């Protein structure tokens, strides 16, 4: 989970630095979108994977609770960034996309050396 969050943070920071040339609102929008995904993913990991060994119903409940919590945080943060803070929607969505692509790449690249 730490590897994924680190790679997402690096990717979002790179996008924010690139968009800084367009303006500080664009850079802040990209950062807000990316941080929403990063925080939501961290919440998911803590809720879904933090309960230890339990029966299947408890494990499934934690997974559903974690996923629901993640997307509630993400949607609330995106609403705040676009509707309240009036950041550029394209930059916010760009931050979300970059963070999600970095997440997929980090998760797919974890088994190169045979270790889980």
Instruction: Look at residue 53 and tell me if it is in a domain.
Output: yes
Q: pLDDT for 75-102, tens place per residue?
A: 999 999 999 999 999 999 999 999 999 9
Q: Mind giving me the DSSP string for 36-86?
A: HHHHHHHHHHHHHHSS-S--HHHHHHHHHHHHHHHHHHHHHHHHIIIIIS-
Compare 114 and 88 and report the one with higher pLDDT: 88
Domain that holds residue 97: 2-111
Counting the structural domains of the chain, the total is 1
Radius of gyration of the chain (CA): 16
What torsion, rounded to 10 degrees, do the Cα atoms 85, 88, 91, 95 define? 20
What torsion, rounded to 10 degrees, do the Cα atoms 57, 38, 2, 113 define? 90
CA distance 112 to 89: 36
Q: pLDDT for 25-73, tens place per residue?
A: 999 999 999 999 999 999 999 998 887 788 888 889 999 999 999 999 9
SS3 88: coil
Compare 20 and 50 and report the one with higher pLDDT: 20
Instruction: Look at residue 116 and tell me if it is in a domain.
Output: no
Query: How much is the pLDDT for 110?
Result: 61
Instruction: Look at residue 67 and tell me if it is in a domain.
Output: yes
Instruction: Look at residue 30 and tell me if it is in a domain.
Output: yes
């Amino acid at each position: 989970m730490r590897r994924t969050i680190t790679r997402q943070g690096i990717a979002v920071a790179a996008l924010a630095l690139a968009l800084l040339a367009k303006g500080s609102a664009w850079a802040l929008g990209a950062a807000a979108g990316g941080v929403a995904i990063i925080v939501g993913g961290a919440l998911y990991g803590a809720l879904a994977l933090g309960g230890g060994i339990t029966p299947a119903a408890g494990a499934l409940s934690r997974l559903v609770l974690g996923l629901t919590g993640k997307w509630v945080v993400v949607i609330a943060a995106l609403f705040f960034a676009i509707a309240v803070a009036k950041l550029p929607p394209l930059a916010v969505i760009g931050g979300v996309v970059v963070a999600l692509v970095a997440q997929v790449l980090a998760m797919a690249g974890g088994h190169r050396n045979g270790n889980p």
